[in-house]
Amino acid sequence: MSEEQPLYRYFAQPKVNSYLSSIIGYELLLKVYTPHGWRIPDNFNLIPSRIIAQRLVEATEKLASKIGSVSVNLSSIQLINPLIREALLQAQANLRPVRLVIEMIEEKNGVSIHDHRVLAAVKDFTDQGMSFSIDDVDTGQNTWDNIQPLIPYATEIKYALQNRHEHLDDPVVRERLMLWAQRCKQLNIHLIVEGIEDPADVEWADTLKLDLRQGYHYGKPHLVRLKDSDPD
């Protein structure tokens, strides 16, 4: 079979526990190859679901020997897609006993997270032994009030500094982030801070006792190569 066009591949980025200096898992990030190299797609909802499904299954087969967990980003529209659901079940089978984490991203023009189909899909995934993470909190529709129906199913919440080009040397950002940290502690949910890119962010995260982190400082996403001909 000829390669699908355009070319999509997953990239894996480590998630770390800074206190233990250990990798706790990998997040899979879907990218498309362009004349300018690999880029994040402009609109994930426009990617054919069969492409996402195929690439996800292939990538998890490659990562089956990795430790920790493997996370995959999905929009609310993708969460409720039956074809993607089947791919997620196959991906979990590929990874077992490593657990697949479904990260619900905030996506413009997505299905409302209050849509009954979203809640049903999340419940289904967790019933199948997967974990559920709410990404991009405090942006778009992923606000504290809006995500309440999904909180009982979440084991992880992710605050992405890069969404607003934030850094932890900004006291307003620290105040906002620590509010989420307090909420997560009360609910016994892990908080992962994304977008840690420089030593100043690391120092502030240490001061704030935020141990679960992700960002270029700890490792850039690397290509999960499916073919020898895949471009770097």
Average pLDDT of span 143-166? 96
CATH fold of the domain at 8-158+210-223: TIM Barrel (3.20.20)
Q: What's the pLDDT tens digit per position in 149-158?
A: 999 999 999 9
How do the domains of the chain map onto residue ranges? 8-158+210-223
Q: For the segment 12-36, what is each residue's pLDDT rounded down to a tens digit?
A: 999 999 999 999 999 999 999 999 9
Distance, in Å, from the CA atom of 211 to the CA atom of 184, rounded to the nearest integer, reads 13
Burial (CB count within 10 angstroms: exposed 0-12, middle 13-18, buried 19+), residue 172: exposed
What does pTM read for this prediction?
0.91
Average pLDDT of span 196-204: 96
Angle subtended at Cα 39 by Cα 34 and Cα 44, rounded to the nearest 5 degrees: 105
